[in-house]
């Protein structure tokens, strides 16, 4: 019997310039380049064990055996590596999601980045992170950016080989995020389905693609200058434009819930009346993410705490890229 093991930790990321729409659905080549911040507080640990005694792939998430549909998704992803290596051994995959309870942020980004990392190790391919990001991408687009820490660009590219992550800045300055948990329920329209509907029906989509390119160039300058006002305002503008494309889809759809609007208004008030730089972004769900200075987190939490229960507010600092875990770390 031959067994090979790989264990990897990957953190999730939140896009400041969003990925919304695929140019190539099979290869996950996006319509526009995007940029995110990797987060410390949310991550996935994944262990892959390749063994010639297994007859099919197995997948356990937080200790629970997953159903056939979930395994089929994993198998399709692992097949990318099997094609590359010619090693057809089946895998036992165990994943642990470290997401504060009820955050509703169980993320495909950290999941596929961690699985790609563990597979990279178990197969002995040992690809550098940038090349590995082209594999993670084909599990879920946003996973591309979770290979690296800090601010990360996903350069859209135009082929399987060059649609990849580029580390932009390690975010080693006064910046953080607060997640406002509006709902932890599973989203009704997946990002995959939502972006597809938007691309094919929204008359605003073209405007989204062109303006996202401008936003990306601008935010990279703002990051270079460590200018939190500009980083935040560009991200807020970009996020709202993405949601505007959905309102104009046919049929129209919207991820906002009443509490999301309350959160947005509270952030604006904190910014305008308290003079604290705080900006928001939202993804394919009702939760609101606040972009702010790390040093302002206590003051912002105090203000938000007047409107939201404290367990719905999760602060985090920037996180690191993927890393290998030892068996001891995994068993701890
Ligand atoms: C709104 O990466 O979840 O969070 O590639 O189809 O798996 P698939 O989609 P996914 O989409 C993320 C969309 C977003 C914006 C972003 O993270 O850039």
Confidence at residue 21, expressed as pLDDT on a 0 to 100 scale = 98
Structure tokens at 175: 């910046």
ipTM of the complex: 0.99
Mutate which of 11, 14, 19 for ligand 1? The one with the most ligand atoms within 8 Å of its CB, which is 19
Q: How far apart are CA 160 and CA 158, in angstroms?
A: 7
Q: How far apart are CA 211 and CA 199, in angstroms?
A: 15
Q: How far apart are CA 29 and CA 134, in angstroms?
A: 10
Confidence at residue 1, expressed as pLDDT on a 0 to 100 scale = 66
Mutate which of 39, 104, 141 for ligand 1? The one with the most ligand atoms within 8 Å of its CB, which is 141
**How many CB atoms neighbour CB 272 within 10 A?**
10
Confidence at residue 166, expressed as pLDDT on a 0 to 100 scale = 98
Confidence at residue 204, expressed as pLDDT on a 0 to 100 scale = 98
CA of 51 to the centre of ligand 1 (A): 32
Low-confidence ranges of the chain (pLDDT < 50): none
Q: How far apart are CA 234 and CA 231, in angstroms?
A: 6
Continuous segment of H or E residues that includes residue 189: none
Strand partners, 155: 164
Identify the residues whose C-beta falls under 6 Å from ligand 1.
15, 18-20, 28, 34, 108, 140-142, 191-192, 283-284
Q: Give me the torsion for CA of 57, 61, 67, 71, rounded to 10°.
A: -30
Q: Whose CA is nearest to atom 14 of ligand 1?
A: 283
Confidence at residue 104, expressed as pLDDT on a 0 to 100 scale = 59
**Overall size of the chain counted in residues:** 332
The end-to-end CA distance of the chain, in Å, is 27
């Amino acid at each position: 019997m031959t067994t090979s093991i790989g264990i990897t930790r990957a953190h999730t990321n939140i896009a400041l310039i969003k990925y919304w729409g695929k140019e190539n659905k099979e290869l996950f080549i996006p319509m526009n380049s995007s940029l995110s911040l990797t987060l410390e507080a949310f991550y996935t640990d994944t262990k892959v064990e390749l063994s010639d005694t297994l007859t099919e792939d197995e997948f356990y998430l937080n200790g629970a055996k997953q159903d056939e549909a979930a395994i089929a998704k994993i198998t399709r992803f692992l097949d990318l590596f099997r094609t590359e290596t010619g090693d057809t051994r089946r895998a036992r995959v165990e994943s642990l999601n470290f997401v504060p309870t009820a955050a509703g942020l169980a993320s495909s980004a950290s999941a596929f980045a961690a699985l790609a990392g563990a597979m990279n190790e178990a197969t002995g391919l040992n690809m550098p992170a940038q090349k590995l990001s082209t594999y993670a991408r084909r599990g879920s687009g946003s996973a591309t950016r979770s290979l690296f820490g800090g601010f990360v660009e996903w350069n859209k590219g135009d082929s399987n080989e060059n649609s990849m992550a580029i580390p932009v800045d390690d975010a080693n300055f006064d910046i953080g995020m607060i997640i406002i948990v509006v709902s932890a329920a599973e989203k009704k329209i997946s990002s995959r389905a939502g972006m597809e509907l938007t691309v094919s029906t929204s008359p605003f989509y073209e405007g989204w693609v062109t303006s996202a390119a401008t936003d990306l160039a601008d935010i990279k300058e703002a990051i270079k200058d460590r200018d939190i006002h500009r980083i935040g305002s560009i991200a807020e503008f970009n996020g709202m434009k993405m949601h505007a494309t959905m309102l104009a889809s046919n049929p129209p759809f919207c991820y906002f819930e009443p509490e999301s609007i309350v959160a947005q208004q509270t952030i604006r008030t904190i910014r305008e009346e308290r003079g604290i730089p705080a900006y928001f972004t939202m993804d394919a769900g009702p939760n609101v993410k606040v972009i702010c200075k790390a040093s302002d987190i206590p003051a912002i939490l105090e203000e938000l705490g007047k409107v939201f229960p404290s367990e719905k507010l999760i602060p985090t600092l920037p996180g690191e890229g993927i890393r290998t875990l030892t068996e001891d770390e995994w068993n701890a």
